[in-house]
Amino acid sequence: MQSVLPVNYFHLVFTLPHQLNGWVGRHPEVIYKSLFQSAWHTLDSFGHDPKRLNGTLGVTAVLHTWGQNLSRHVHLHCLVPGGALTEKGQWQAAKSNYLFPVKAISRHFRGTMVSLLRAAAKHGKLHGITRAGEIDQILNSLMQIDWVVYTKAFLKHPETVVNYLARYSRKTALNNSRLQRDEHNHIRLSYKDYRDHNRQKFMTLEGVELIRRFLLHVLPSGFMRIRHYGFLANRCRQKKLQQIRRALMQQPANQGKNEQPSQNRFDHAKDYNNEESLSLCPECQQGPLLIICEIAPKRLEYG
């Protein structure tokens, strides 16, 4: 939350077609890695387009592999600040309510993912797929269908999405509260049916089947399911965020737990587009006060 900028945010979800589920079972690391690369390449390409934002985006991506019924449903949640950092250090705010056109993003994502999978097959990384012609057949068929990229209109309160994604950063696909045992020692699993107006339903599974579905979502050892790109990348995040906040003339959206904001710093802005939320200069009472640095009193030594 301390990395949240005082701008609108966008939530995008990149979903793999279910035709690739079998490949995920054989080569999960290759498929998951390609999914991260494809989603970031797509967003980065659109962000650097001179006709759009002409700068570098920041993206936090979280991998989910399950649906509500524990079936394999591989998708990538992306939280994107609504703008880009230009080469001149300026902040170029997104003008569209949906960041980029969904159909254009979907086609670019599809082409990039298929290209990466063809390259992986060429280098022998998909060696577990042994049926003759299967790779070309499936990839060619996938190029003929629309891929799903879901995007919501911009969010003024990105903490809701941050909290949602955070719940899955250390938890698994299944919560104990969703499980009930029936009289035949089967397991009743509660789930939401998103196709039926999010109604809560129940399904009964044998214990072995429940465990099988659960194990579908065990990631390869050491695989990072949360990744940061662009100006949110770990190696440059702190420097780039400071640069963006100077451009926005804002302080961080959340102060640290042990840090008490002084009266001379910007107040936390509930509405970041409202200039009245900024602290005024105590001298002229006309412009916003921007702290560049704080100089400690000089210690005088005598004798």
pLDDT digit string (tens) for 141-159? 999 999 999 988 777 777 7
- pTM to 2 decimal places: 0.77
Mean pLDDT confidence for 234-242: 93
Q: Is the pLDDT of residue 90 over 50?
A: yes
DSSP 66: E
Q: Is the pLDDT of residue 161 over 90?
A: no
What are 210-229's pLDDT values in tens digits?
889 889 888 999 999 999 99
What are 167-194's pLDDT values in tens digits?
766 667 777 778 877 667 788 888 888 7
HSE-CB for 71 with a 13 A CA cutoff? 8
Helices assigned H by DSSP within the chain: 21-26, 28-47, 102-122, 134-142, 159-166, 207-215, 237-248
More confident residue, 289 or 166: 166
Mean pLDDT confidence for 54-80: 92
Place of tokens 């009964």: 204
Q: How far apart are CA 167 and CA 171, in angstroms?
A: 7
What sign has the CA pseudo-torsion 223, 225, 226, 228? Answer: positive
Q: What are phi and psi of 16, to 5 degrees?
A: -80, 140
Residue 29 — pLDDT band, cuts 50, 70, 90?
A: very high
Contact 201, 193 (CB under 8 A): yes
**What beta strand segments (E) does 67-194 contain?**
72-81, 83-85, 91-93, 149-151, 179-181, 187-193
Contact 279, 288 (CB under 8 A): yes
Mean pLDDT confidence for 96-110: 94
**pLDDT at residue 113 in the model:** 98
Cα torsion for 125, 130, 135, 136, to the nearest 10°?
A: 120
Mean pLDDT confidence for 94-115: 94
**pLDDT at residue 4 in the model:** 85
**pLDDT at residue 32 in the model:** 97
Q: Is the pLDDT of residue 46 over 60?
A: yes
What are 248-269's pLDDT values in tens digits?
875 455 544 444 443 333 333 3
Q: Is the pLDDT of residue 58 over 90?
A: yes
Q: How far apart are CA 93 and CA 53, in angstroms?
A: 7
